[in-house]
Structure 1
Amino acid sequence: MMLLVVLTCLLAGCLAQRPHPCSSPPLLSGSLSVSTQNEKLWMYAGYMYDALGERIRLTEMGTYENKSFTFDALLLFREGTVYEINKHDRTCKKNPLKADFHPMAIPKDASLLGQIVLGSSSGPGEGLLVNTWMGELPEKAGKFISTVTEFGCIPISTVYHTSQFGWVLTSFFNNILGIENPDQLNPPDFCLDAEMKADEEEPTDFLSLFLNKL
């Protein structure tokens, strides 16, 4: 009985601790979806995220203004380069990438909105403890609201506002620690001879990168 009391007190103490801003694991892979308030854009993508090498790979499909699309992009932030890859035709476009790399993290100055359980707290394994935060986007571009897991700081969702789309919601799922095939974060062989195209408008964020290709 005494052991049960001690364990109960320890559990209550853990749950009572105030959550702190956190950083997601440096190597992640999984899937995400993007939807917009004005319903112009819906997208599903597989993603690979490497914070150590500042690399992101996105393989996407979706609709924009009722037109379907597919898109495969490799973003190399340290090199300032984005590759648009077409595996079927074995072709590659190489463009400048102006955007800075922003790690998946809750900034230290973010404000905690609340802690909740997704699912049920009635039994073990029936729910997921998550924290929701609000903060400022880089360069004071507006506010964001992000939800991450309490344990591991795994991203669940992020929402922010844009003048073009209204509210933009990104949801993460099927997240896995690590990257199963790291070679996917390097340009394919048929991309090595691609020349940089500097005549196009340089993308400054994820949505501008995507819209420049439509």
Structure 2
Amino acid sequence: MDNKHADQGYRKLWKTLKDMTWKQRWEHLIYYYGVFALVAIAVIIMGVSLIVDMTSEKPEYLFEGMLVNVGWTDEVEERMTTDLFDLLGGTDPEKQYVLVNHFALKEYSASIIENMYTRVAVGEIDYILVDKFAMDAMAPWGFFTNLNLILSPETMKQWEAYFVYAHDEMTEEIYPIAIDLSKTEFAKQCRYTGDHLYIGFAGNTNRPMKPEDFLQYLMSLFDGE
């Protein structure tokens, strides 16, 4: 088919379709053109999606936390997100965010744990705050990295008395994975079930604020108040 005939064919098709609803257009294309219409439409949709994805600006998450069975006031969250936004050099609050993800795990749920684990595994989560129940449920899944790998010897010594340990049954290694913050001023600003508030770190993000820096910030947040 030459260009002239092709153009005439398109015009005839559009004349047929222009007064139809989208549902009627879809039914007409399928009836007369079958699988070829499906392939063409799929290619068009993929092309449009690719263009939109390439031209749209994706948000940048400067820092991201996960709270499981832990809460705090809106004032605390606003203060923390504002502080961290400034500390991390944020310049555009419309495109850059400090994010806090809240999860409830009141009874063991594999689906919730798998959802949270996926967020951690892909490198989205910087820190994790949990109560005792969540700690016991999440630790066997490997949410928390070995603190020996991410904290300095000085910080390790400072918090040693408050460590929570994991036992690797294959290597028989025992190592710290979280810190009990229950006795801190920060813990007084949080809501959680039981007597313990723990913090752990995924240790697999590439963001500029490291776990040690965040821990120091957290301890200074309500110091002296």
Normalised by the length of structure 1, the TM-score is: 0.23
Higher strand share: 1
Bigger Rg, structure 1 or 2: 2
Higher helix share: 2
